[in-house]
């Protein structure tokens, strides 16, 4: 009797375009029993959603540190918006939405508390350096599931590994940065389309920017509202990729140039602005202090990590522990372990 999964796999072959990644052709580092009613990519999505690392994203900074308002984005809501944009593009291009969904939900699992500021500190003080992308891959391959990892498909893991851009090229043909699947390339572009727009929206909400502050030439290309900008960008990706015969994910030169200009504007006026960095510098002090504390107190580290012995270098364990912290947990541990306390007599 044909299983539900097998029926879904047949639907993929019939409905998706020839360039789409098929779940039936995917593979894992370690073989595991197939699910009777979910494809391999659907199973990956569920593994990520049920992971501890994913749950912690709800209390990790996107841009604004511990915002009091209920509507500011966090790493979790960012991941959800990447997923939504990515699935819209994949559906229009008849690519595998499940692969895009899984990778989008997992792409930021390795982010530190306090966003890129926490990442910068760990990269500076840790002997091996630190980058959230490598940590995301480390989480899904090794740290989750009590050290066994999530054993995701190679397509999802690669999409996670190649989503990051920083200030580098938004789209690239460099095989070291470009996912082999079109779905992985979608996650890369959906990430920036999501964060540029929602971070701009949050900056306006915070009073850091006004809509009229956005350069007029950028507004002329993308529009003047949050919804219009996203619609314009997504529509351009779909149309440009279709016009290119789906050999790779594309944007028109006009829109790609304007997107780069908008990213530069956001770095100057939001991400690296004095107002944003003021509080994040305090957060960096907490990360630096926690790193130093756990290096000097390995027994405390083992206790809090709930492990019996070190399986790698002490420094690696310290980085794993700190990078996994939420903002509020890092602040609390900083207060408990570093700040002096009043004397209590029991």
Provide the Cα torsion 51, 54, 58, 64; round to 10°.
Answer: 160
**pLDDT surpasses 70 at 343:** no
pLDDT of residue 273: 87
Residues 165-223: tens digit of each pLDDT: 989 999 999 999 999 999 999 999 999 999 999 999 999 998 999 989 999 999 999 99
* Reported pTM: 0.96
What average pLDDT does this structure show over 63-82? 85
What average pLDDT does this structure show over 36-43? 98
pLDDT band at 68 (very low <50, low <70, confident <90, very high): low
162 neighbors 189 (Cβ within 8 angstroms): no
pLDDT of residue 66: 64
Q: Please tell me the distance from the alpha carbon of residue 30 to that of residue 25, in angstroms, as a whole number.
A: 15
16 neighbors 22 (Cβ within 8 angstroms): yes
Tokens in use for 49? 């959603």
158 to 8, 22, 54, 200: CA distances (angstroms)? 23, 15, 18, 29
Q: Which residue has the tokens 């350096």?
A: 129
Residue 57 per-residue DSSP state = G
DSSP string spanning 170-235?
SS---TTTS-SSHHHHHHHHHHHHHHHHHHHHHHHHTTS--GGGS-HHHHHHH-SSHHHHHHHHHH
Tokens in use for 320? 């794993």
pLDDT band at 341 (very low <50, low <70, confident <90, very high): low
pLDDT of residue 234: 98
Q: Where are the domains of the chain?
A: 4-337
182 neighbors 249 (Cβ within 8 angstroms): yes
Q: Is 71 exposed, middle or buried (0-12, 13-18, 19+ CB in 10 A)?
A: exposed
262 neighbors 167 (Cβ within 8 angstroms): no
Q: Please tell me the distance from the alpha carbon of residue 120 to that of residue 124, in angstroms, as a whole number.
A: 6
Q: Please tell me the distance from the alpha carbon of residue 320 to that of residue 126, in angstroms, as a whole number.
A: 11
Residue 111 per-residue DSSP state = P
48 neighbors 310 (Cβ within 8 angstroms): no
φ/ψ of 31, rounded to 5, equals -60, 145
CATH architecture of structural domain 4-337: Orthogonal Bundle (1.10)
Residues 308-338: tens digit of each pLDDT: 999 999 999 999 999 999 999 999 999 988 7
Radius of gyration of the chain (CA): 21
Tokens in use for 3? 């299983």
CB atoms within 10 A of CB 282: 13
Residues 252-279: tens digit of each pLDDT: 999 999 999 999 999 999 998 888 777 7
163 neighbors 178 (Cβ within 8 angstroms): no
């Amino acid at each position: 009797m044909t299983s539900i999964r097998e029926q879904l796999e047949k639907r993929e072959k019939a409905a998706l375009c020839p360039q789409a990644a098929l779940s039936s052709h995917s593979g894992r580092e370690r073989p595991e029993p197939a699910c009777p009613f979910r494809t391999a990519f659907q199973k990956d999505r569920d593994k990520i959603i049920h992971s501890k690392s994913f749950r912690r994203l709800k209390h990790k900074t996107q841009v604004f540190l511990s915002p009091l308002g209920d509507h500011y984005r966090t790493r979790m809501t960012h991941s959800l918006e990447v997923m939504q944009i990515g699935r819209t593009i994949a559906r229009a291009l008849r690519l595998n939405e499940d692969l895009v969904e899984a990778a989008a939900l997992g792409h930021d699992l390795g982010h530190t508390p306090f966003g890129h500021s926490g990442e910068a500190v760990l990269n500076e003080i840790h002997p091996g350096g630190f980058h959230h992308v490598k940590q995301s891959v480390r989480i899904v391959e090794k740290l989750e599931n009590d050290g066994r990892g999530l054993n995701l498909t190679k397509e999802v893991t690669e999409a996670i590994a190649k989503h990051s851009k920083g200030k580098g090229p938004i789209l690239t043909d460099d095989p070291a940065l470009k996912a082999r699947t079109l779905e992985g390339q979608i996650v890369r572009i959906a990430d920036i389309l999501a964060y540029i727009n929602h971070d701009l929206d949050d900056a306006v909400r915070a009073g850091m920017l006004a809509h009229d502050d956005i350069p007029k030439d950028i507004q002329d290309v993308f529009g003047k509202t949050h919804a219009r900008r996203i619609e314009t960008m997504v529509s351009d990706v779909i149309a440009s990729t279709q016009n290119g015969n789906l050999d790779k994910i594309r944007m028109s030169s006009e829109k790609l140039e304007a997107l780069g200009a908008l990213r530069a504007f956001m770095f100057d006026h939001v991400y690296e602005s004095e107002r944003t960095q003021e509080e994040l510098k305090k957060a960096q002090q907490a990360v630096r202090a926690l790193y130093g504390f756990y290096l000097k107190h390995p027994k405390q580290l083992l206790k809090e990590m709930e492990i019996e012995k070190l399986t790698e270098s002490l420094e690696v364990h310290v980085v794993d522990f700190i990078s996994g912290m939420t903002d509020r947990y890092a602040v609390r541990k900083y207060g408990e372990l570093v700040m002096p306390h009043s004397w209590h007599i029991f």
